[in-house]
Structure 1
Amino acid sequence: MRPQPGEVLHFSEDPTITVFRPHVAATAQRPEAYVWAVDHGRAPDYWFPRQCPRAMAWTVPGTSAADRERILGPGGGERVHAIEYGWMERFLSVRLFAYRFSADAFRPFGEPVPHAVVASEPVEPLGPPEPVGDLLRLHRDAGIQLRVLDNLWSFWDAVTTSTLGFSGIRLRNATARDVRNPLHPPA
């Protein structure tokens, strides 16, 4: 589930939204109100239940062969997403929907590389929301590894100190770091 040319997507578990109004997100680090959406490249970041913590990594032009091998593994493709076992049932059963918008109403957001697009005015979807479908199949068909881990933190620590591109979403919902396990040092 990706946007068509000239479109952006917003993913939601709520199929009843008719108008998206700018708001300040609960996790916002800036006070501006926006409607959030994603482009083709960032759509896979949202193939998850909304509150599901996930750590993601992908190759970028400066990715070293050593980091690629260490994080992605042999035959690992270009991208990996990781979630925790505690979220797997929800991942497999969630009813997720995609709303399509004209990209004209949105502008890139994020520095140094945009990670989303935002609108400052209310926007209406181009049509009714579309069921996203089988999230596991979406990952497989896109060639994205999906890893299921007991705890995200050692993976996250490895990714954020690598030469890969990365993103973490809803990490506050992840299982706490295990202070007894040296592989999961406290934050």
Structure 2
Amino acid sequence: MLFHFSEDNSIPLFVPKEKQNRPDFPAVVWAIDGEHEFTHFFPRDCPRIVCRRDEAKTDEHLQLFFNHTHADTVESDWYTRISKQTLFRYSFDDEGFELFDQTAGYYISRQVVKPKFMEIYNNLLERLIQKGIELRFTTNLYPLREAILASDFKGFGIHRFNNAKKP
């Protein structure tokens, strides 16, 4: 089963779309697997950095980037929006999707996709806690982003960074 999270609860069909920030990429429908769905338990435009622990990390990486299995870091200004946000999780069969990014759990389809069903997702902070995700709040994401990009650490995702506060 694959998923798509949206703030819109009225999507009968998912039609392939081009990404605004990647005009060179073909129009696709994006989905995420269950293992990585927690990276979308946020308002759509919320800037965030996700770090994923694996065996290849050094002690330095463990100290710099996280203490547990996964860490999501967001700016403090987003706390209230996250705590009040309701999302809608659309479920898809895997058929017709291909793996795009194994680290992030992203899948794509070049076909129109009809969701099997839709579920309401609220209490997003509680859902993150239940999944054992370390949630961090910071005044600004830029220092963490720069530390990650200056390292050889590869287990990360940077989402909606264009919405992060400028330092």
> In which range does the TM-score fall when normalised by the shorter chain?
over 0.9
Alignment partner, residue 10 of structure 1: 4
Alignment partner, residue 140 of structure 1: 129
Q: Which has the higher Rg, Structure 1 or Structure 2?
A: 1
Amino acid at match of 2:38: P
Structure 2 residue 100 is matched with structure 1 residue 106: no
| TM-score, normalisation: structure 2 | 0.92
Deviation, 1:88, is 1.2
Amino acid at match of 2:116: L
| Matches for 1:1-187 after TM superposition, within 5 Å | 7-28=1-22, 30-72=24-66, 76-110=67-101, 113=103, 115-127=105-117, 129-160=118-149, 161-163=151-153, 165-177=155-167
In terms of fraction of residues, the more strand-rich structure is: 2
- Write the deviation string for residues 39-75 of structure 1: whole angstroms up to 9, x where unpaired: 1222111111000000111112211122112321xxx
- 1:162–1:57 Cα change, 3 Å: farther
- 1:24–1:164 Cα change, 3 Å: closer
SS in structure 2 at match of 1:100? strand
- 1:19–1:167 Cα change, 3 Å: same
- 1:116–1:30 Cα change, 3 Å: farther
Contiguous gaps of at least 5 residues in structure 2 = none
Please give the alpha-carbon distance, in whole angstroms, between the structure 2 residues aligned to 1:41 and 1:156.
23
What is the percent sequence identity of the aligned residues?
Answer: 27
Please report the RMSD computed on the Cα atoms of aligned residues, expressed in angstroms.
1.6
- Write the deviation string for residues 64-103 of structure 1: whole angstroms up to 9, x where unpaired: 122112321xxx2111101111111111111111000001
Moved over 3 A (4+): 112-115
Of 45-54 and 154-163, the range deviating more from structure 2: 154-163
SS in structure 2 at match of 1:14? coil
Contiguous gaps of at least 5 residues in structure 1 = 1-6, 178-187
| TM-score, normalisation: structure 1 | 0.83
